[in-house]
Amino acid sequence: MTDSVMFTFVMQTGAHGEFINKVKTIKGYRGITGAGLNTAKAFVERVQAMGEVDAPVSFPTNTADIVAMEEGGITAREANTNAIAELRKDLKALAVLAIRIDKLDTAQRLIDVLETL
């Protein structure tokens, strides 16, 4: 089973505003989405025209495909920053609960995780 996460794809250009390696970018996009050649080419051209596009990515995905896209000229970053905010909120609530039931070691571990986000 795979989960889908929204990512923002941002064009990183060479010195003259062109893709660093458009073919590598298309191959990388195909690898992380399973899209066909025409769909991937159209997506890459849309990113080129707009500079930044949001699109879903299924997980698990091959890290090498993301690296290929970045080497080709498009970087990908998770679009949903609210997910981290929700995770912080949930971890904080769990830490408070752990303190209330006298599980201080567990509470400390949850707080340690919170500090890494």
Q: What percent of the chain has pLDDT over 70?
A: 82
Q: Are 76 and 7 in contact (CB under 8 A)?
A: yes
CA distance 94 to 76: 31
Residues 59, 88 share a domain: no
**Count: domains in the chain:** 2
pLDDT digits (tens, 9 = 90+) for 3-60: 667 778 888 876 666 667 889 889 988 888 888 999 999 998 888 888 888 887 776 5
Residues 65, 9 share a domain: yes
Domain residues for 109? 82-116
CATH classification at residue 27: 3.30.1390.10
Is this model's pTM higher than 0.85 or not?
no
Within 13 A of 18's CA, how many CA atoms are on the CB side? 5
Within 13 A of 101's CA, how many CA atoms are on the CB side? 8
